[in-house]
Amino acid sequence: MDELNRLSVNEFRQSEKMPIVVVLDNIRSMHNVGSVFRTADAFLVRGIYLCGFTPQPPHRDIHKTALGATETVKWAYFDTTVSAVRALREEGYTVFAVEQAEGSIPLQEVCRRFSDGSGGSGAGGGSGGSGPLAVIFGNEVEGVGAEALALCDGAIEIPQWGMKHSLNISVAAGIVLWELVRDYKK
């Protein structure tokens, strides 16, 4: 691990994080939750909000895919995604659902808007344009709940050209977080 220049748990906790919070809206699969924790750790994401019936650590099935990331990534639980979105908005976050919805914005467009400082209504604390950003990933079957979706600043869509027009939530989280973090790092 030393040769890979990996941070220790203590160094990770003290390091400056990307101004991004991931919100998981009623995710059923513990493996998906663990995978998102691991991805959030990889990209130094500020935190994860677990909402509704989304499983919470500690649990061996989450740990199996998180590989210890539940110990490094800050997380909080909210009874509803709506309450999580309201809390984020009070903290100045711009909130986007990752969802195929009417008027959704392709992921690459969102990244361009934030890198040039023209996107969203959030304020404060971020190098990537208009401040901290939260992204909501919805339930494996139902997507992001309608009430939470209505409170968002918009929806991000991952462009897809094949027959299937959905991705596993952990794959979608990896794609979206990579694009957002890469954009912030510029």
Ordered by where they begin, the domains of the chain are 9-185 (3.40.1280.10)
More confident call, 28 vs 3: 28
Q: How many residues does the chain have?
A: 186
CA angle 181, 34, 77 (to 5 degrees): 85
- Three-state DSSP at 117 gives coil
What are the structure tokens assigned to 116, written together?
A: 């040039």
Q: Please state whether the predicted TM-score (pTM) of the whole model is above 0.85.
A: yes
Neighbours of 9 (CB within 10 A): 10
Dihedral class, residue 52 (left if φ above 0, else alpha if ψ from -120 to 50, else beta)? left
Banded model confidence at residue 179, pLDDT cuts 50, 70, 90: very high
In one-letter notation, the amino acid at residue 28 is R
Neighbours of 40 (CB within 10 A): 27
